[in-house]
Chains A and B, each alone.
Chain A
Amino acid sequence: GEDVEQSLFLSVREGDSSVINCTYTDSSSTYLYWYKQEPGAGLQLLTYIFSNMDMKQDQRLTVLLNKKDKHLSLRIADTQTGDSAIYFCAESPMYNTDKLIFGTGTRLQVFP
């Protein structure tokens, strides 16, 4: 099946690190993506990782990829209230490179 799974909610205190997890289905996926959706808006790309990489860091964001377990995570360091949003992971499956498969999204709530 084409299920990309994420937990629905995550709540963290401002200044702490957030870790959002995702499991995907297609081990041959070439690229994996993290998108952010702020309230009332469309999705925006945060970062992506190529399947031959284990880790990618971009300022406060760290993406970890475990291909063996088909597990992707997004770590946000020093989480701020402006990081409150829904975060979607997505995979680009080899069997159909015309589309992305999105996860259900994780709602991150940051409290003071």
Chain B
Amino acid sequence: NAGVTQTPKFRVLKTGQSMTLLCAQDMNHEYMYWYRQDPGMGLRLIHYSVGEGTTAKGEVPDGYNVSRLKKQNFLLGLESAAPSQTSVYFCASTFGVGGQEDTQYFGPGTRLTVL
């Protein structure tokens, strides 16, 4: 099992450029999440999905879009990147809810810099 993988690991964008971050999991998890991590602010939920074909907004969804066309993949899109989106992005997935099944498995992160 590869677990949760993220592509790319690093990226530098210019303001206004677009890009897509890919998250893939091979654990047959229903739930997937995108977070951003900024110094002193912990993890903030951007969007999440409770199953194939579904998406929902998290705490900080503005400027991002997501799609979950296949159960194993969760894509995060930035249509027009802004310097405020410079951050480390983490994807996570989980099987279900409650107890250890609620355990979120995290990818290694994508470090994005927007100039």
* A interface list, Cβ under 8 A from B: 2, 6, 8, 30-31, 33, 35, 40-45, 48, 50, 88, 92, 97-100, 102-105
Contact = CB atoms under 8 A, between A and B. Distances in A.
A98 B97 contact: yes
B74 interface: no
Contacts of B42: 6, 88, 102-105
Interface of B: 4, 31, 33, 35, 40-43, 45, 48, 50, 56, 58-59, 90, 92, 97-100, 102-104, 106-109
Given A92-B97, A104-B42, A98 B31 contact: yes
B98 A104 contact: no
A2, A31, A92: which has the most chain B beta carbons within 10 Å?
Answer: A31
7 contacts: A6-B42, A8-B40, A41-B109, A42-B92, A43-B90, A44-B106, A104-B41
Contacts of A100: 102, 104
Contacts of B50: 98
Q: Name the 6 nearest CB pairs between A and B, nearest first.
A: A42-B106, A104-B42, A102-B43, A97-B97, A43-B106, A45-B103
Nearest to A49: B99
Given A88-B42, A99-B48, A102-B42, A45 B104 contact: yes
A88 B48 contact: no
Given A99-B33, A104-B41, A31 B99 contact: yes
